[in-house]
A and B are shown apart, each in its own frame.
Chain A
Amino acid sequence: MNQKISNKNINFSKYDTMETEQLEEILRADFYLSGAASSDEEQMNYILEVLTKRDKDVLRANLVGAEKSLEEFKKKHAKELQHTNRKKRTSQIIRFSAVAAAMCILILGSVTANSVGWNIWDRIATWTESVFRFESYEQAETDFDHIPEPLKTTAEKLTEYGITENAIPTVLPDGCEFKNNSFFSDSEKISIVTELSCDSEPIIFQYVIHLRTVYDSEFQKDEGEPDIIEHNGILFYVFTNCGKYTITWMDGSLECMITGIPEKFIEEIINSI
């Protein structure tokens, strides 16, 4: 304690003019003598402060030097720098061209996509300064060209309800004419029934979209086991009811039935689904 008080009167200014290497040497020696009585904490702190101040001065001097060097470099390499700037401008033009080309591809792509029934712009999120939103999906336009004319309304209706899988046969017996359509929906199901007349014989197409997981459906049939035909991973059940052929199948929540089909067309119709 006495030593500390006495140290307050000691003048440390001699260290201000001392060489940095010498000061570092004193610090190093003090480090090896740490714990010994000779170690003077106040003296060491003063030396550290001097060294820190010198380091800061060196850094500041380096910065000023760097600025000067940069100016000199710019003067010395003015031509090269001008060339580099030109290069930068060229790369900016290239980048702009690439973006423009991408935009062109996107626009042309959307036109092409539209022609095959896709509208890619509908799948792009939009936002303004204050709001962000996903644009509502429009129903993807579906190509109904391959659907027989008498079943086109049924196909359109199924698409309207989100059924885009192939559920409608692309072939029909000759002489089939559209007779009637009936649509029904409640909280449990959506039902689409189409009545055709084929050579004066009725063929009924029924599509039921079940909205609940638990439901019971029954199909009237003659005695005997139904034939099971697998096509495209779907099981088609074929049986007769009073001699008239019926095909039923399930595709997810979609329950389908075609009844009144002449026997010779059954395979062809299933293969077309």
Chain B
Amino acid sequence: MKKNIIKTCLLLLIMSLLLNSTVFAFEDSNIYISYTSGSISSTSSGYLTVSFSVTANEEMSTLGAQTIELYSLTNGLVKTFRPSEYPSMLTKSSVTYNSSVSCSMTSRETYYAIITFYAEKQGNSTTATLTTRSYKL
């Protein structure tokens, strides 16, 4: 009985930490990119949206996301977003950029995205990746 209570308490503690606390994640050094963030949400019409933001350490000639790969937990990679199809994934002459991409997806499925950020200045470029949390549509 005591063991069960302890187990439940631990589970609740872990759940609360996962749900409410901010996770400060420090990634490998990057010559241009300082900060990245990304998340998945959905609209009432069943559209899945991947939002992202990136901040460089100075003004970049090109900044944004190079690719956004959308995975479903059951079917693996289901879609790849590229700037050639979604030009709003990149911007010019900026130190920070916020954007999002959307698509219609099967409901009652759990998705996550791997975002590859891109920063370019004077012909030199760098990338950074971020994996979003899973999201059930």
CB–CB A221/B95 < 8 A? no
Judged by a CB distance under 8 angstroms, whether A237 is at the interface is yes
Q: Could you tell me the dominant secondary structure of chain B's interface residues?
A: strand
Pick the most buried of A212, A213, A219, A221: most chain B CB atoms within 10 A of its CB.
Answer: A219
Contacts of B24 in A (CB 8 A): 217, 219, 237, 248, 250
A242 on the B face (CB < 8 A): yes
Contacts of B62 in A (CB 8 A): none
B95 pairs with A182, CB closer than 8 A: yes
**Which residues of chain A are near B39, meaning CB under 8 Å?**
188, 212, 214-216
CB neighbours of A189 from chain B (8 A) = 53
Question: Do B133 and A216 touch across chains, with their CB atoms under 8 A apart?
Answer: yes
Q: Does A267 contact B (CB under 8 A)?
A: no
Asked if A44 lies at the interface with its beta carbon under 8 angstroms from chain B, I say no
CA distance A202 to B130 in the complex (A): 25
Q: 0/1 per residue, B57-76, Cβ < 8 Å to A?
A: 11100000000000000000
A219 CB contacts on chain B under 8 angstroms: 24-27, 34-35
Dominant secondary structure of chain A at its interface with chain B: strand
Question: Digit string of A199-211 for contact with B (CB within 8 Å is 1, else 0)?
Answer: 0001010101010
Q: Does B48 contact A (CB under 8 A)?
A: no
**Contact among B26, B27, B31, B128 for A242, CB-based, below 8 A:** B31
In-complex Cβ contact of A220 among B20, B58, B128, B132 (8 A): B128
A244 partner residues in chain B, CB cutoff 8 A: 57
Report the bound CA distance from A62 to B33 in whole Å: 99
Query: What's the least CB distance linking B131 to chain A, in Å?
Result: 8
**Which chain B positions have C-beta within 8 A of A184?**
53, 96, 98
* Residue tally, chain A, CB below 8 Å to B: 42
Whether A220 lies near B27 (C-beta < 8 A) is yes
Q: Are B98 and A241 in contact (CB under 8 A)?
A: no
B residues adjacent to A (C-beta < 8 A) = 19-20, 22-31, 33-39, 41, 51, 53, 55-59, 94-96, 98, 100, 128, 130, 132-133
Q: Write 16 A-B pairs (CB below 8 A) sorted by A numbering.
A: A180-B95, A182-B95, A186-B51, A191-B98, A193-B95, A202-B59, A204-B34, A213-B20, A217-B37, A218-B26, A218-B35, A218-B130, A219-B26, A220-B34, A241-B29, A257-B35
